[in-house]
Structures are given as structure tokens and as C-alpha cells.
Structure 1
Amino acid sequence: MRGSSLKLTLGPLLYLWPTDRWRDFYFRIADEAPVDVVVIGETVCSKRLHFMEPEIAAVIDRLEAAGKEVRLSTLALVTLDREANYQRTLADDDARLVEANDLSALQVLKSRPHAVGPFVNVYNGATAKVLARNGATAICLPPELPSTSVTDIARACPEVEFELFAFGRIPLAISARCAHARSKGRTKDNCQFICQEDPDGLPVNTLSGQPFLALNGVQTVSHTCQALLDDPDETRSMGVGSLRLSPQTCDMTAVSKLYRQLLDGSICPTEAASLLRNVYPDVPLSNGFHHGQVGAEWIARLRNSEGLGR
């Protein structure tokens, strides 16, 4: 069912980047990043689609020529007819696995192999079994799940390859309204793509000035960056087959190489955490959800590594 080695998946870019930057990012991933699967496509806001459409064919060709498996991501929220039509268009692509991030996509993908992304709530084994019967062959579990729940779900549905959201700001909510545009005096219909000004999200502080969340168009993400850096044998023992890296503005090629070293046993989890902070220094790391604690917390596995927490 699962191989002995863990795979690395690069999830879809959740932020709005200019077309040239978007293309060049994926070209470098194709040429230099040791990832096995790359999920591409607009997940957050359908208005952003035209930024990637001119280059998406070239990006797919470059990734596949480099030996990467390409999957296509659906939208995480469908509110308009044109968005529903877009979902159906994706479902018609027989050449690549489509990743469903909304229940409407599950319906159009029924009875054909597909993946399920972290925006679909899979909180127990019974749900995973239903999705498997619908055609799901891979499921990226929601990032807020503790490791105990991950283990229970994977054991209940061994025919599916399960994936953990191992790096990136955690997607927490998505809305039909755009708080990002509103915060800058715009409306969703006349946003003028203001979210492009914040390629890693717009920081949101509490009334007392403490960092709290970040806005990404209609999406809300965490202030902290989830970083799951367990020993690979421990991850495999949970029934997990892949780790997902969610693109941020840091050097994602370096991030992927660091995770590959961790999975290969070249570095230990403590060293990986230290190196990761050098790659992405401006955002604190967290793993609280994975350990059944407050999501924004960093839970040190070893007493002598507690000083690494932030």
C-alpha cells in the first residue's frame, strides 16, 4: 500500500503573486526542489485565476519534464456559477489527479480517482472511508488535527495515502467576503487585487498589539508557521505517506531540501528546527495542534531543545 519512504508534496500557492514571479517560482521548484508532487491552481479566490492562466501550461510542462507529479487544485469556496463551471472543467482533466478542496468538487469527481485537500474537514475514520468509496486515493488531513487523531484515521482507512500539512501558515477560515480588501478601504467587487501587496499575508494584531492572524484575500491564515519535524519513523508509524509544504515568501527550495534531509535521516528534528528558522526567520514556528495543544505554540520534543521555541 505505502512505500517505506515518505514523499514530499508542495501544496498550491495560496497567495497572489505577479504572473512572472508565479511562473519563475514553479520553474525553480521543477529544477531544484526535491519534492515528489506539486499541486497547482487557484484555491482561494477565482478572481486571481487570470494571473496564472497565461503561464500554467508552461509550468505544468516544466514540472512534469522534471519528473514531478502535477495535481490540480480546486477552489476552496464556490459561490458563483462561473466558479462551479471551473470546478467541472478541472474534473474533465483525465491526465492529472485533481485535488478537491470543496464538497462541490467531490460531487463532480465522484467515482474517479482524485485527491482531497486540507480544506475538506476529515476528522474521523468514517469520513475518510466515505471519501475513499467516492474515489479518493490521497487525503491531506486538516492541519488542526492532533497526531492521535491522524493515527486513528489512517488505521481506519489503510487504502488511502494520508498527508500531513507540515510547513506553512495554517489555513484557518475562508469567507465569501474579503476582509483583506475591506481593511484597505476597498470592496470585494472592486478590490483591485490589493492582496498582491501582501505576498505572505497581511498581519493582524490584537487590540493590545500582539500578532494574531494574517489575511489573504478572503482567507484567514495563522500568524505562526506550522512546522512538523518529527522523526520520519514516527511519522510513518502514524500511517502517513507524505508531508505537505505550503509555499511562503521564503526560499521554498531550501525548505524542501531541509525536509528531504530530515526524511533521509541526514539531520535530526532539533537541527531541522534550527535550520528552518534561518530560512524563514520573520515568522515564528508552531506545532501545537499536532501535539493536542494551542495551535500557535511550539512544543519542544526534547528538554535540551526548549530554547529553540519562540
Structure 2
Amino acid sequence: MKFSLGPNMFFWPKNDVEQFYNQAKESSADIIYLGETVCSKRRELKAKDWLALGRELANDTDKEIVISTMTLLESPAEIITMKKLCENGDLLIEANDLSAVQIMHDLKMPFVAGPAINCYNLSTIKVLLKQGMTRWLMPVELSGDWLNTILTQAVDENIRDKFECEVFSWGYLPLAYSARCFTARSEDRPKDDCQYCCINYPQGRKMNSREGEQVFVLNGIQTMSAYQYNLINEVNQLKEMGVDIVRISSDNEQAFGQLDKFKQQLVSPVKYPLDQEHECNGFWHKIAGMSVA
């Protein structure tokens, strides 16, 4: 089983991004994803900068480096930028939109199907395999039982060895995307004049219910879970099910410590008590997503 660092979904200053990935070089991650997945107006690093950083990481480490593409494309310019990433020629691509899937298919290049690709069953996996998919990241809202069913079906149809399975296992869950920018709206700014205000919220903006309960994190056009998903107590279950890769989201520098703790579970399992005020694992257990089983 391998462990990955997923792409950072927040908007950080360039120096902070570079510092984070300098630490990632020395981390215990087997795979590092990087790139802008949320908003094209976040230009602290442009496409060429992400590719340069990815190649630097590939040259300086023995880790697999993957470039992640945008999830919601809204203009021809964004498609052009995505094509530049897909055509890089060196680094594997995580496709987070079907247009990226089509581009990679046209290029006859392999790709990772990211969490925003709505792949909920074996029939869709078969379609993506024909397009060139070599790794599937399960959508975050699916349960462990659902995943086990799909992987069992893949074994029965003799295609399980055709793709790797990756599971989002720690971090704020990416739940939804909208053409509206919620962070700009929270500051009474129009989206077209957002002043790049989400850079002021390196962990997004917390949104509470009327009863005062934390519900979501607003991250530009993305809605995330208010609690950090944590499957640390399910690591060995994931291995037994045949999951190939456990993903730790690059929410902050805590990710490096989480990587080590998750990997240690394979050696000497420990039952960790989850903090019900900050953590959740409900989707995996088929209960309310913000709950802890």
C-alpha cells in the first residue's frame, strides 16, 4: 500500500506553497499531487510554475509526481491552460473534469481519475479504462461497503489489475463546486472583482448553521466539509479490501504528521479516538457525513 499527498485546495502565497513542497520532498509520501484545482484566478503560481515545481520534485526525489487539473472550467482560456498541463510530456495528470479525460485520451496518455469525476460504479470505471485511466480515486461521499462491492465486481470481471484504487482518507472533504465565489460573496464582493480575497483565508472560511454548528468550509467556488475526514482507524481495512493508495490532503503542515501516523498503522495498529468537534468519518460508515462512527 502507498500513501499520497493530495493537491492543496486552498489559496496560499507562492512562498508558502514552495515551502510546503520543500517539506513534502522530505516527507514519507510515496506520491505527491500538486496544481490548482479550484479557481483559475489564483495565479500565485501559473501553469508553467506548477510544471516547473513538479519537475523539480520529480528530479529531486524518488516520489511519483502528479499534476492535478481544475475541476470546474468556465472559459476557453481555462481549457487552453488545462491542455498545456495535459501536454507536459513528463508528469502524470489527475483529471478532475471530463474535458481533461478527453484530452488525455486524444494524447493516448494515462491519467488518474480525480475525486470530482462522478464514477460510482464498475460500468463507469470500464468507460474510463477505455479512455486511458490507470488510477481511480473514489468519490469522497461513497461508503466502505460501496467501494468493497465495486472492487469485488472488478475482481469477478478480471479487470481489477487494470487500475489502482485510491481513497481520500484525511482532510477537509471537497463536497461541491459552483460558478459563484462564496468567499468573495462573504466579503460582499462580486466574483469579477474578488480582490483574490481567499488568499486571506489559508484554511477557508468556516460557515455555521443557524444553531451555531459548524457545517461547511467556504473555499472560493468550492464547498468543503467543516470537519476533517479521518480514516486512520480504517487503514488496515482499506488494505484488506485491496485499496492501493491512501490519500492525505495537503490542508496544512499537519499533513506530514498524519502521513507518518497513517503509515504506522500498517506496522503497529492503534485505535485513535476521533475528536467529534473537528473530525468525521460518517460517509465511510454510511451515516451522516459529519458524524463519527
**TM-score over 0.5 for the pair:** yes
Q: Which residue of 1 aligns with 2:123?
A: 126
1:306 is aligned to none
Residues 234-271 of structure 1 show CA distances to partners (whole Å, capped at 9, x for unaligned) of: 212322100111112342211111111113x2342x13
> Which string of whole-angstrom CA distances, capped at 9 and with x for unpartnered residues, describes residues 184-218 of structure 1?
01111111111111111100011222211110001
How far the C-alpha of 1:62 sits from its partner, in A, is 3.4
Contact between 2:33 and 2:66, CA under 8 Å: does it hold in 1?
yes
Whether 2:119 is the aligned partner of 1:138: answer no
Contact 1:23 1:59 in 2 (8 A): no
Whether the aligned pair in 1 keeps the contact of 2:236 and 2:265 (CA below 8 Å) is: no
**Which residue among 216, 219, 223 is the counterpart of 2:222?**
219
Q: Which moved more, 1:49-58 or 1:237-246?
A: 49-58
Letter in 2 for 1:35: A
CA contact (8 A) 2:54 2:67 kept: no
The answer to whether the Cα contact below 8 Å between 2:138 and 2:168 also exists between their aligned partners in 1 is yes
Contact 1:227 1:286 in 2 (8 A): yes
Q: Which residue of 2 aligns with 1:62?
A: 57
2:244: which partner in 1?
A: 241
> What do the CA deviations read for 1:50-94 (whole angstroms, capped 9, x no partner)?
435585324541354121111011100111011011111111122
| One-letter identity of the residue aligned with 1:293 | I
CA contact (8 A) 2:230 2:281 kept: yes
Instruction: Give structure 1 stretches of 5+ with no counterpart.
Output: 1-5, 300-310
2:285 corresponds to 1:291: yes
Is the contact between residue 147 and residue 291 of structure 1 (CA under 8 Å) also seen in structure 2?
A: yes
Q: 1:298 to 1:52 in 2, by over 3 A?
A: farther
- In structure 1, the partner of 2:30 is 36
Question: CA contact under 8 A between 1:15 and 1:201: conserved in structure 2?
Answer: yes
* Structure 2 counterpart of 1:295, one-letter code: G
Quote the Cα distance in structure 2 between the aligned partners of 1:166 and 1:88.
29
Change in 2 beyond 3 A, CA 1:50/1:196: closer
Residue correspondence of structure 1 range 66-81 to structure 2 within 5 A: 66-81=61-76
Among 96, 115, 119, the residue aligned to 1:101 = 96
Partner of 1:51: 45
1:147 and 2:137 correspond: no
The corresponding residue for 1:266 is 268
Percent same amino acid at aligned positions? 33
CA distance in 1, matches of 2:236, 2:187: 46
Change (3 A) 1:251 1:210: same
Q: Distance in 1 between matches of 2:197 and 2:260?
A: 32
Is 1:199 the counterpart of 2:202? The answer is yes
Q: Which amino acid aligns with 1:266?
A: S
Task: Map Cα deviations across residues 141-200 of structure 1 (whole Å, 9 max, x no partner).
Answer: 111101111112223240210011000111110111101101101111111111111111
Asked if 1:168 corresponds to 2:171, the answer is: yes
Q: Which runs of 4+ in 1 moved over 6 A?
A: none
User: What letter matches 2:290 in structure 1?
Assistant: A
Task: Report the count of equivalent residues.
Answer: 284
Q: TM-score, normalised by structure 2?
A: 0.92
Code of the aligned partner of 1:68 = K
1:228 paired residue among 227, 231, 239: 231
TM-score, normalising length: structure 1: 0.87
Q: What residue identity is the alignment partner of 2:268?
A: S
CA RMSD of aligned residues (A): 1.8
Give the counterpart letter for 1:87 in structure 2. M
